[in-house]
Each structure stands twice: as structure tokens, then as C-alpha cells.
């Protein structure tokens, strides 16, 4: 993965982590449900963005390298990994 993709994903994960803490505090303090849900949706958006960034980084580095080899077993494994992660993401 490129440093650019890594840094972008890290920023999104750290922002989501911050929001999780904020949501826990909001619930503990009895804040309005809709306000908590809005923060939750923001965290979900950040996590989805981080996932997309990780996928792009993986496809442009690890996956691309594997596809450029003559190792058919490795190519198949990498393809199956992508399909598995995509399937899990779409559940």
C-alpha cells in the first residue's frame, strides 16, 4: 500500500475513533437520540471511506503485483480475497 493510501485511511480511522468516544459520552449523558444517530452515520461514512481507500491501495499495489506474476495459484488467491472482502462489505 502506498503511503498516501495508508495516511488517508489512518486519518479516517482516527476521526471515526474520536466520534465513537463522543457517541459513548452522548449516550451516557442521555443526549437526544437523533443527535447520536447523526454522529453514528458520520462514523460509518468515515469507515466506509477508509475501506475504499484501503481497497484502492491494495488493488494498486499488492493485487497488481500478484497479477503481474506467473504464479496462477497466487493470482487465484488474491482474486478470492478481493471477492470475500467485497462480499462482506456488501452484507
pTM given for the model: 0.86
Structure letter (DSSP) for residue 90? T
Q: Is the pLDDT of residue 43 over 90?
A: yes
Q: What is the mean pLDDT of residues 62-83?
A: 93
pLDDT-derived band at 91, boundaries 50, 70, 90: confident
How much is the pLDDT for 14?
A: 98
- Domains of the chain (ranges plus CATH)? 3-89 (1.20.58.1000)
Q: Is the pLDDT of residue 42 over 90?
A: yes
Percentage of the chain beyond pLDDT 70 is 100
Q: Is the pLDDT of residue 90 over 90?
A: no
DSSP per-residue codes, 8-57: HHHHHHHHHHHHHHHHHHHHHTT--HHHHHHHHHHHHHHHHHHHHHHHHH
Amino acid at each position: 500500500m502506498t503511503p498516501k493510501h495508508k495516511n488517508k485511511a489512518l486519518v479516517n480511522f482516527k476521526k471515526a475513533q474520536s466520534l465513537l468516544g463522543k457517541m459513548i459520552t452522548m449516550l451516557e449523558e442521555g443526549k437526544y437520540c437523533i443527535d447520536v444517530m447523526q454522529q453514528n452515520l458520520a462514523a460509518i461514512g468515515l469507515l466506509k471511506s477508509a475501506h475504499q481507500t484501503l481497497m484502492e491501495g491494495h488493488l494498486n499495489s499488492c493485487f497488481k503485483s500478484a497479477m503481474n506474476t506467473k504464479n496462477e495459484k497466487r493470482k487465484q488467491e488474491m482474486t478470492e480475497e478481493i471477492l470475500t472482502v467485497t462480499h462482506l462489505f456488501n452484507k
